[in-house]
Structure formats: structure tokens, C-alpha cells
Chain A
């Protein structure tokens, strides 16, 4: 028990088992120590006195657990467990070859890491954490619409999906063209994959251009048409007098064509006054394989000499570039006053990436700490990005074809944008730490925020009443997520540079487990800022002391300057300025 003293258990967290174990650290020698498993985490601490190694892994991070070696296998450390994690690392433990030491721990890990496969609740439902703020109220749809100036003469709010009958993966409150009747919406939903009709995500305050999102039209092999859908898109176009509506299809052209075979497709020439643009972003399977390749080259060992070509062969940065440049095109259209429609196949993966990134570029509100939370809640969670299927919370089926790091890719794109803040440091209120925290809790199952696929299932499982929101946790200790250089401004559009020459691998996330890559909690720039602040305070204090002790001589100071400052610096205007300041 004494080992647990240095890890504070969460309210609701309970110890399940502890065991002597050897951690086969890939960055050094094997570490003897103790492992503790609770219903929330796996915690390891080495018993080595000189160099303490600890591991603190939420069970939700675990993707698969496998036994390695058998009871009869030879060699040291050959009998143990191999744990694959979702956050770019693998853990290997060795056990003593006696009794059934491995079976116990394997069974427990398997049961607690994949509760849903064993009919057990996720930890988020067991957690007793309490926070001052209720993160579930960070995003209020009506408030957000009102902030954007909606409803107005052209756009109205509809409650048609109150009981999820129009579309079971959409939120309850939607913004649609004013002229579209409820009946129109129903008819359009019949022609859109899974009923995900075009609805408004964001409206430009000045030029009234909008970003609308939807799924693909159900054109099929026969090339079906739907007059209502065509008229509906024309209403979207009409709302701000856009001459040609731009429909961004996130997929590569061939994929869109291939989708016709399964009843999907894309908008053809029958859609008058519109243009269709393919953005060439690949599907979830391609992204999954790309990140898998990336993991292969960053964990555990990182190459020296052929690093760049290895990195290139993963195509991860190229995919990032395609997503970012797609979002730039969307944002650019909108800021020039043209309304756009964004969709992919189902409108919950690439569409969410494009709309949310474009909104991040267009609207400085989303670059604040709370605004960013609103953005994720609005475009990802409420609009039914299938977090449960993509992440596989508590599911033992690690090879599920639905898994894909789409949200990780989005956060990476955001990081790329904030990264360019080293030149332009004041644009984002939040920092890298927030992004890493979000990704950590994307998997951890400690909070309810990223659980389940859509609003209707979330309601079913009473997520908002039975679990805690990640934003409760973040907003209760928000200082560490703030960028000290942030300067609020209701600025212009923020375009990142989407070129391979300027994109970088997010080393401090993807390679953070490598001890050789320094774990910089704070960037050196922020570090320096803190040091300077301390130095400033010290000088101010000293000045004040001087001022108090020498108050009798204060009259001297203003006209007697020290002899040496008569050199060039004294003629410097700012130096004189300093003199003006210093009237003690």
C-alpha cells in the first residue's frame, strides 16, 4: 500500500490488484517494481532506488492485451504481458514463471480495460469526482446561435429533430434556411445519407456567408435526382445572394464515384448555380494505417539518418496538409462572401474536420479556451462524430475496421496552427498542454465527454447526468492551459501555411514517451517569460526598497544622473524616458 501513497486515487477509483512485476523498459534496462491495477488505471513504480521509473496508464488507453511466451519458454523476461496502447506506446511486463501469476493479472486487465465487452460500466460512470463548474453547460446551442446572430431573416432555428426522428445522429436543435419548411426538411432528409441534411454550422457576421454541413446525396448508380434537395441547396445559396454555391466534397473524386455503387454519390450538374470541388482527403482506413506507420517509426526507437524519408513514407503529414488546405479553401470562400456546403460520405469525419478547422480560422472566439470547447462540443460531439466506434472505448475488439484517429488528426491540425504562433504568438488563448490533455482523455474514459457515437445514444445512457464532463476538469484548473501571450482581438482570418515545408511532426505528443525527446512541459519561450516576470518583480521590489530607504535623498535623483550614462545611451530617447519614470 505504501507505494500507492504517491498516486492520489480519484474519487470512485478502487484498487483491484497489486503484484511484483518487471517492466521491460524499451529505453533502458528492465525495471523491477510493483504494479497496481485499479478500476481506472495501471500504475507501475520501480523499486530501484537510484532511478525511479513510474508508469501511470489509464486503462481506457489500452487497446489490446496479449500474453507473450509460455510457462515453458526460456530466457529471462520471456514470460509476460504485451500491452498495446492507443496513445502511441506499447508496454511489456515480465512475470515470474510460477503459479498462475500471469493469468490473474491478465484476466483482471482484460476485464477492467474492456468493461463494455464484459458487461461492466465504464469508469466515467463510477467516478465520484466533483468540480465547481459544470462542464456540460459550456456549450448551449441557442446561446451559440445567438452569438452568431441567429436566427435572422434568412435563417431559422428548428426543433424538428427534438426526438431524433428526422436524423438520429444529429443534434436536436438545427439552423436551416428560413424559407425551407419542415416538410421540405423531411423530404431532403430522404435523399441524404442517414438523413443528415445540410444545416448551418457557422455564419459570417458581415457578409452572411455560411458553412453548411451534411452527408452525401443518395444518387446511386442510376443517378437519381431529388428536386427538393436541389431547391434546398438553392435556398442556402440564396440566403446571402451568393452567385454560385460551392459544394466541397472532402473525398477524392474516385472515392466519390465509387460511393455511387453503395447508393451514395455527389451533386451533379443538375444542381444549378453551384460548383463541386473535391478536396482529396482520404478515408478513415487510410488515416488509421498512416498513423500505424507513424507509430512504427517513433516507438520505441527513432531513427537518426533516414528519419525524413521514413516520415514521408507514413504520409501522415501529407494527410494533415490535405485537411488543412481543404479547411483553408473553405475558410477562404466564406471570408470572400460565398456560402459553402461541406460533406464527405456520412458527414461525421472529414466534414467535422473541415468545418471546425475553417471555423477556427474564421472566428477568433473559437481560439479562446472556452470557445474551443464549444467548437468541439458543437461540431464533433453534437453532430455525431462516432467517438465510440472510432476510439473503441472499453471494447476488446482492437481490430475493428471502424477505428480511426480522425479526431487526433483534427487536434494535430489545431496544433499545427498554434505552432505557427511562435511567429505570431498571441492568437490562441489555449496552449499545447490543453491539446495533449484532450487527447489523453479522449481515451481515458474518466469523463463522459467523448463517450458514445451521437446525441441520441448519449441521452439514452444519461451521460450528462451520470458522468463528469472533461470541461469541468479543465475549467477548474484552467491556468495551466492558458497561453500567457494571448491577446484578445476580434481579428481577421487566420490562415496557416499548409505546405510540407512548414508542417512539422508533433514531436511532443507522438514521441513524448521517448526520454530522449525532452518532455518540455512548457516551451522555452514560456519558461523565459516566467523567469522574466520573476525578475521584474524582484527589481520592482528592490526599487521600492531603495525608494523607501532613500526617501530623504529623493530630490537628488531626478537631476543627477550617474556619470557613466552620459555616454551614447543617455542620448537615447528611451533612456530619457526612464528618467521621467523615475521620479522618486
Chain B
């Protein structure tokens, strides 16, 4: 592919005079950051621009072409549509506009001329005026710009050069310069340091955070330990970990040595029926097990349960990181259908080639493993311990997937963010090496996190209405991984992350300080920009885009209130009376076994531990466990094969909210995430449909309608209580409100992780119903007009803009007929067109 660049000789050097090429230098006048219609970030320079360019819109964007101006800055390639509203000077900076792409995301620049296409590299030269410019991105986007006949030829050539020169394949230096280009200005640093964190999600950084999670799950018998406070026990574990209450810190310290990298069994999550989910690395075998150690090891492995522990092996039947990397690179090659590459997969071989990537197989493996674990958990009162040699890849994936399946809270945006924070960021998934930002860890590169997003998408596509987050959110997260700007991803564990922030906050750099420990980040110096967390979405995307991250109204039925937040109805099943640690089984390849070598301290020399006692319960609980797994295989009992009388509620209907969302794994049920992987399929004709192209789905419109009604209702009832301070109606409502918060483990969508309880402050005035919704995470819907959305662009003016006849008609569908509240509809109707 790169052969082209070798054969071409340099016709000329690109304009050497850098100051001349910088068409503008913003930041001098901080109040006016607009340059040629592009709203620059503080300190961002426009290097080149081309006018009268058309951008090809994806099917999702409505298809067709959009005319505007193309810019290249140090940080991004920006496109400003002709009819875009004038940017608001006072709003906060947003890194990427709707049509922009960061230079760091670009993998390849291809110029298409009248008779040829050419891969443009920083060193290559063009012998023709490009008619089209195609940017292949690392996140699988393919962005295509068409130069109009009216685009000055020089501009078309220059911007192609500029982009090719500036984007540069990532390497350590370029990552830093990119970070500086985006976040490096004084103004930006100031802005970033003043940003508040999203208070609606759990960050799992403080002991309070973890305690709140324990409380949410009603997980008694567990405590937060700070024994790894200085990373002395384990370098890759976070400072705070959750372990059984019974084990004292002094005892706990002795157990670290028994596990690979010191990653002892730690609590992740408790199922409402009382089972605990743990994760750990493999056992250290070459170590002598002292009697006391054995007791403690048993204690931390069995957790608060005493009878039964199932160790789920994550190496059997699962892809290795290398497999995942290979599958993903094949998938990329297949989906991008690169026009600069000579080979492309013929359409009639698409299905088998797709199968040959094994990407879908790997998604299926992970989903199956997580489904098995979920089925075990729902039985109640056992401990499921996920075990992976390093406990930093697939155990992140499976443990979080189990929680997405079982815990409705993890299907909200805030809950999901907390989940990723808990199981990936804090627990030490090696994002830095796996994403390979600096192109210096090719052997380690493996998009395990992207495989996780694919699995979540598979679940989402099978049960869309059980999620509050949308596929658009997953897509945004997918794309953000490729942007080397976020502290969430730019480290391999909490320790590395801490080094960086401590480093930044220190006023001087110790000469031989951190550098010895961390050669990787040696290029850091105090002037490096502070990196924001990926969850600071306002920084990344416009409000319109953010609005599509969540469904406005989540159709989950209200949960029954649980006494003590526990669903322990069948306590008898698998629970012997004594509190002695009991049987351990290994789940591997879909069946249970009890190999003597499973727990190294139990076999052979260290077998002092009550041997005789253990045999009996083992054999008893085995059939019970197998029954649990079967339930996983046959998720739905075959209903009437022809009639579907019982399915009036449908599989999506109100069920027990704690029943896991078990994925269907049959061939046709695992699909391709087209909105992500096939975004760049240029050969796909746009399905342009005039009415629907730029409008929200009717369901979305209705959902916003209901959302507004809900707000209105809340206001009305709140107002009613203002008038009658002791109104009877509002009082119980408030009480249930606070009940909900106490009972946070019910994980209802309506109150995602609001944290007043965790902070120990009872608000003087309980908020009305609406305030329980995170306001920040519910920005204006796409249809709502904002101040800068006027003008001829009828894209987002559906509800209130210029209703056509068709719009008015469909609008009326949402209002009651004349018989149903005429007064209300009279009030409503005129405002529709206003």
C-alpha cells in the first residue's frame, strides 16, 4: 500500500514558511475564537482551509452531500457546513463538531483524482489536483470530501498536503503534540482544571464511592480495604478493594503473594438474590501454604458466602488477546473496503469472509460465558469467581458483561459509565498497551474493550427497550477510545494514572523520581495538559449528539420495593448451616468439575483442611448447579409453537427486572454492528428518504413528548404543594422518592445513582420528581431548538420550527382526541406551531 509513496519523488517542498501557513492564530483574542466561521479551541490554529467543499453524509446522517468549508488545524480536520448557525461565543469549547475528525483518529489519507487514487503520506507529493479526499479513520469511519469545481485548485492541493503532513501516524511525540494542540493552551488548561466531574456516576475513586456501591447492592459482609494504598501489595490493583469483612488487613496482606501480580479475589457485584461476583488472577503455585494462610485464602475466596464457590475459568473456550487483535484487524480490513488497497472482498464472499474474521465468534464466546455466570448468580447464595491468569482482560469483559445482563442500573448511561470505571479503568485493564496509542506496543495491542462494546451492542440489539443508554452512546465511546486525550484510557492502571496527576500537581520534578519507575511517560513535564476523563462528554460532543446517548423515557416498569433490598426468597436451596467454607467447583467448557488441583492449597501437602467434611456437599450441589446452567441454555421454554397467545407482553414486556437479559447465540442472532463497522462502506448507496432523513424517529419524538409531560406533571404537582404546604398528595410521593434513594440497589432507571445518601446529606427540600433525573445528562433533544439553530437549516426544527402539513399531522397523533381532555389540547395546540 505504501509503495506509491516510494516511487514518487518530491516535486516541491511544502511552503516552508510556517508563520505564513498559519492562517490564523486564535487565542490572542480570547473572546473571539471564530476563524473563517470555524469556532477554534483556545490556542488552536487553522493551518489551511478549502472553500466550497462537499462532505458525503452517511446514511445515518441522512445521506447525500453537504456543502461547506474544510479546515485543517493542528488538532483536527473540521468541516463547517455553509448554513450552519453562527457559533455562540460564550459557550464552552467543544473538541469536535458534528462533522469534525481529530487528526489522531486518521489512519490514512487518500486523494482521488480524475483517473487515479493515491495514498498521501507526509513525504509524498501529488501530481494531480484531487477531486475527492478520503480520510480512513482508526475508529472505522471513512470520511469523504468532494472538491467542487469552484474550489480553487491550490486550496484542494494544499489542504490535502496539510492534512497528510499534520496527521502523522501516531508515535510518542505526536501523541503529546496532539494533546497539546487540543488542550495545551493556558486557557484550556484553566478551563479543564475548573471542570466538575459528573456527579451522577460512581467514579470508584474514594472509599465512599465503593461503600455506596456496596450499599446499592445491599452487599453485607464486605468491607473496603485500603491495604494497597501505596501499591505495595499489588502494582496493578487500585488502592481500594473490597474484601470479606471477616478478614483483617494484617491477614489479608499475606494472601497477595498467592496470586499472580497480587490480584487477590475481589468483590465486584452482588446479585439481588444474594450471590457475589468476584474476580481474581491465577494462583501462584510455587509457594508454601501455611495453615493460617489457607484459612484466609478460603475466606477471601468464599467471600461472605460459606457454602459454595464456582470458579469460572476464562481461558478455556475464550479468545486470547492475540486472537482478538487478529480478528479485529481482519474485521477492519474487511469493513473499510479500502479504495487505495488493491484487494477488496467481493460482495458475494462477504458472509464467509466475515465469519473468517472470527470477530462474531468471539463476541458469542464472551456472551455465552457471561450468560453462564449470570445464570449461576441468579440462584442465590453462592460465590462466582472469575479467574484469568492476569485478571486484566477477559475478566474485565466478562465481569462487566454479567452486570449489564443482570443489573438494570448498568444499562443506564450513568450506571454503565460507573461500571466501566469500576471493572476496567480502576481495576487495571491495560488500556494504554492494548490500544497502543504510541504504536510502541504492537505485540500487546488488542481491542478487548472494543470487543466488550460489541458484546454490549449485541445485547442492546436484542433487548433495545431494556436499556436506557443507546447504541449511539456505545458508538461515541467506541470512537473516543481512539482519541489519545483521556486519562481514563491513557494508563494501564491506577498507579500509572496517579503518577501522572501527582506529577502534574507537584511544583518540581524530582531528578530521579518517577522516571525510573515509568520510562514510558518520561516525556511528561509539568506543562503537560491535564487530561480529562472520557466521561466529560460535554467537552467532546455537541449537545445534540449528547441527547441521543439516552432514551428519554425508559420503559422499564417500576420495580417492586424490596424489603432490605434483597430478593432472598429461596434461601434454603444451596445453603448448609455451618459457616465452614465448603465446596469449590470449576466451570469450564460448560460443565462443572472438581479437580483436586483447583485450589493449590487444598491438594497434597497443605491438605490439613477438614478434608472429610467437604466431600458430601460437593456431590449434592452438583446437579443443582447443572440445572442452573441448563436454564441458561433454554432461556425460553418453548411456547405454543404456532400460537403466541402468551406473548402478548412479548419478550420485552415487563418481566422480573432481575432476570438476566440472556442473549440468543444462534448464528442469525449475532449480528454485525453496522452503524459502527460499516460506516465507511462507501459503495453503499444512500437510502435517501426525504421526510425521514433528518428527523428523529417517531418513537423518539413521542418519548420527548412524554418526557415533557412528565416534567409538566412534576411541576404541576410541586406547584400544588407550594400552595397547600401539607398537601396529602405530594407528601407520599416525596417519601417514595427518598425510599428509592435509600434503596439504591433496586437500580431503577428513574433514579440513576443519585447520590445524596452517599454524601450523608439530607436535602432540606426534597427535589420534585424531575430533579431525580440527571439534568446534565439530559440535554436538549435533537428536535428542540436552541438559540443557534435558526436559519434555513430545517434539520433540527421539527417540533417548533416550520411545521409542514405532514409534520402537523403526525404531531396531532400525540395529542388526545377531542373527547379526551379538550381543554388541555386547546392549550397545547397553538403552541405547536409557535
Compute how far the CA of A516 lies from the CA of B639 in the bound complex, rounded to whole angstroms.
10
**Cross-chain contact B668 with A487 (CB below 8 angstroms):** no
- Proximity string of chain B (601-644) to chain A, C-beta cutoff 8 Å, 1 when within and 0 when not: 00000000000000000000000000000000001111111111
Q: How far is the CB of B663 from the nearest CB of chain A, in Å? A: 11
Q: How far is the CB of A236 from the nearest CB of chain B, in Å? A: 28
Q: How far is the CB of B712 from the nearest CB of chain A, in Å? A: 5
- Chain B residue with Cβ nearest A328: B685
With A308-B355, A539-B709 as known contacts, state yes or no: A557 contacts B715, CB within 8 Å.
yes
User: At the interface, yes or no: A489 with Cβ under 8 Å from chain B?
Assistant: yes
With A307-B667, A524-B464, A563-B765 as known contacts, state yes or no: A574 contacts B640, CB within 8 Å.
no
Interfacial chain B residues near A130, Cβ < 8 Å: none
**Cross-chain contact A572 with B555 (CB below 8 angstroms):** no
- Chain B residue with Cβ nearest A550: B720
With A54-B643, A543-B713 as known contacts, state yes or no: A524 contacts B824, CB within 8 Å.
no
Interfacial chain B residues near A557, Cβ < 8 Å: 715-716, 719
**Chain B, range 396-449, C-beta contacts under 8 Å to A:** none
- Chain B residue with Cβ nearest A535: B706
- Proximity string of chain A (512-546) to chain B, C-beta cutoff 8 Å, 1 when within and 0 when not: 01111111111011011101110111011111101
Give the interface segment out of B114-122, B176-184, B229-237, B776-784: B776-784
Interfacial chain A residues near B639, Cβ < 8 Å: 515, 519
**Cross-chain contact B354 with A574 (CB below 8 angstroms):** no
**Chain B, range 697-720, C-beta contacts under 8 Å to A:** 697-699, 702-703, 705-706, 708-720
- Chain B residue with Cβ nearest A548: B823
**Cross-chain contact B705 with A536 (CB below 8 angstroms):** yes
**Cross-chain contact A308 with B786 (CB below 8 angstroms):** no
- Chain B residue with Cβ nearest A7: B643
- Chain B residue with Cβ nearest A332: B685
Q: How far is the CB of A540 from the nearest CB of chain B, in Å? A: 6
User: At the interface, yes or no: A426 with Cβ under 8 Å from chain B?
Assistant: yes
Q: How far is the CB of B336 from the nearest CB of chain A, in Å? A: 12
With A56-B643, A499-B347 as known contacts, state yes or no: A564 contacts B638, CB within 8 Å.
no
Give the interface segment out of A135-143, A393-401, A417-425: A417-425
For A489, A499, A531, the residue with the greatest tally of chain B CB atoms inside 10 Å of its CB is A531
Interfacial chain B residues near A497, Cβ < 8 Å: 59, 684-685, 687
A-side interface residues, number (CB < 8 Å): 106
User: At the interface, yes or no: B553 with Cβ under 8 Å from chain A?
Assistant: yes
Q: How far is the CB of B117 from the nearest CB of chain A, in Å? A: 21
Give the interface segment out of B287-295, B559-567, B735-743, B813-821: B813-821
User: At the interface, yes or no: B60 with Cβ under 8 Å from chain A?
Assistant: yes
Compute how far the CA of A518 lies from the CA of B723 in the bound complex, rounded to whole angstroms.
51
**Cross-chain contact A487 with B60 (CB below 8 angstroms):** no
For B642, B644, B697, the residue with the greatest tally of chain A CB atoms inside 10 Å of its CB is B642
- Chain A residue with Cβ nearest B349: A312
The one of A501, A550, A567 in contact with B681, judged by C-beta atoms closer than 8 angstroms, is A501
**Chain A, range 485-507, C-beta contacts under 8 Å to B:** 485, 487-489, 491-492, 494-502, 504-505, 507
**Cross-chain contact A495 with B687 (CB below 8 angstroms):** yes
B-side interface residues, number (CB < 8 Å): 106
The one of B651, B668, B698, B706 in contact with A511, judged by C-beta atoms closer than 8 angstroms, is B668
- Proximity string of chain B (715-752) to chain A, C-beta cutoff 8 Å, 1 when within and 0 when not: 11111101110000000000000000000000000000
Compute how far the CA of A350 lies from the CA of B364 in the bound complex, rounded to whole angstroms.
39
Q: How far is the CB of B445 from the nearest CB of chain A, in Å? A: 26
**Cross-chain contact B784 with A539 (CB below 8 angstroms):** no
**Cross-chain contact B464 with A546 (CB below 8 angstroms):** no
**Chain A, range 108-156, C-beta contacts under 8 Å to B:** none
User: At the interface, yes or no: B692 with Cβ under 8 Å from chain A?
Assistant: yes
With A53-B641, A519-B647, A557-B716 as known contacts, state yes or no: A502 contacts B699, CB within 8 Å.
no
**Cross-chain contact A525 with B687 (CB below 8 angstroms):** no
Interfacial chain B residues near A492, Cβ < 8 Å: 688-690
Q: How far is the CB of B346 from the nearest CB of chain A, in Å? A: 9
The one of B350, B651, B697, B786 in contact with A500, judged by C-beta atoms closer than 8 angstroms, is B350
For B650, B717, B816, the residue with the greatest tally of chain A CB atoms inside 10 Å of its CB is B650
With A515-B639, A539-B706 as known contacts, state yes or no: A565 contacts B347, CB within 8 Å.
no
Q: How far is the CB of B239 from the nearest CB of chain A, in Å? A: 33
**Cross-chain contact A583 with B827 (CB below 8 angstroms):** yes
**Cross-chain contact B784 with A573 (CB below 8 angstroms):** yes
User: At the interface, yes or no: A321 with Cβ under 8 Å from chain B?
Assistant: yes
With A507-B668, A533-B702, A543-B712 as known contacts, state yes or no: A311 contacts B640, CB within 8 Å.
no
Interfacial chain B residues near A549, Cβ < 8 Å: 720
User: At the interface, yes or no: B761 with Cβ under 8 Å from chain A?
Assistant: no
**Cross-chain contact A564 with B770 (CB below 8 angstroms):** yes
- Proximity string of chain A (295-334) to chain B, C-beta cutoff 8 Å, 1 when within and 0 when not: 0000000111111111110000110010000001000000
User: At the interface, yes or no: A9 with Cβ under 8 Å from chain B?
Assistant: no
- Proximity string of chain A (35-51) to chain B, C-beta cutoff 8 Å, 1 when within and 0 when not: 00000000000000001
Compute how far the CA of A309 lies from the CA of B361 in the bound complex, rounded to whole angstroms.
13
The one of B352, B651, B678, B720 in contact with A520, judged by C-beta atoms closer than 8 angstroms, is B651
Interfacial chain B residues near A305, Cβ < 8 Å: 361, 364, 667
**Cross-chain contact B771 with A574 (CB below 8 angstroms):** no
**Cross-chain contact B555 with A532 (CB below 8 angstroms):** yes
Interfacial chain B residues near A28, Cβ < 8 Å: 638
- Proximity string of chain B (765-777) to chain A, C-beta cutoff 8 Å, 1 when within and 0 when not: 1011011000110
Sample of 23 A–B contacts (CB below 8 Å): A51-B637, A304-B666, A307-B666, A308-B667, A312-B349, A328-B685, A424-B692, A491-B690, A497-B684, A500-B348, A515-B638, A516-B666, A520-B647, A524-B650, A527-B465, A529-B698, A532-B699, A536-B705, A539-B712, A547-B716, A550-B719, A569-B778, A578-B711
Q: A499-B684, A514-B666, A568-B775 are in contact. List 13 more A-B contacts (CB 8 A).
A: A423-B60, A425-B697, A426-B689, A494-B687, A496-B687, A498-B685, A513-B641, A539-B706, A562-B718, A562-B768, A568-B776, A572-B780, A578-B708
**Shortest 8 CB-CB distances between A and B: which pairs?**
A307-B667, A515-B638, A308-B355, A312-B351, A562-B718, A539-B709, A553-B723, A500-B350
